[in-house]
């Protein structure tokens, strides 16, 4: 799901957070700053109920390399491993989690 909301709203924490509560895919419409915001992305992951994590492709590379973000996503859906950074794909804790689930 993608909409055009304009640059100012795309960078508005409260507005994007409200959209994410309706559908986490709205993170795709957020500014680069918010796609790099740990709390915003973590909230999107926690609010995802339908197993649709494709929006993780649009988050920042820094968060794709964040162990807490990737761990939380993998706990909810093993297929989210594909969005992890190359470094995390080789991390012993992430590999253990993948084998454990």
In this structure, is residue 57 part of a structural domain? Answer: yes
Overall domain count for the chain:
1
CA distance 58 to 35: 7
In this structure, is residue 24 part of a structural domain? Answer: yes
Q: What pLDDT score was predicted for residue 36?
A: 98
Q: Which of 64, 47, 48 is nearest to 56 (CA)?
A: 64
Enclosing domain of residue 71: 7-100
In this structure, is residue 2 part of a structural domain? Answer: no
How far is residue 37 from each of residues 13, 61, 90, 93, measured CA to CA in Å? 10, 11, 24, 23
pLDDT by 10s per residue, the chain, length 101: 556 788 999 999 999 999 999 999 999 999 999 999 999 999 999 999 878 999 999 999 999 999 999 999 999 999 999 999 999 999 999 999 999 87
In this structure, is residue 1 part of a structural domain? Answer: no
Q: Are 59 and 34 in contact (CB under 8 A)?
A: no
Task: Read off the pTM.
Answer: 0.91
């Amino acid at each position: 799901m993608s909409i055009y909301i304009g640059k100012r709203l795309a960078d508005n924490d409260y507005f994007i957070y409200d959209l994410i509560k309706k559908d986490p895919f709205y993170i795709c419409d957020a500014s680069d700053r918010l796609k790099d915001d740990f709390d915003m992305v973590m909230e999107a992951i926690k609010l995802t109920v339908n197993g649709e994590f494709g929006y993780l492709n649009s988050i920042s590379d820094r968060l794709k390399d964040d162990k807490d973000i990737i761990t939380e996503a993998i706990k909810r859906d093993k297929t989210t491993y594909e969005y992890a950074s190359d470094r995390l794909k080789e991390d012993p804790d992430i590999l253990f989690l993948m084998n454990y689930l």
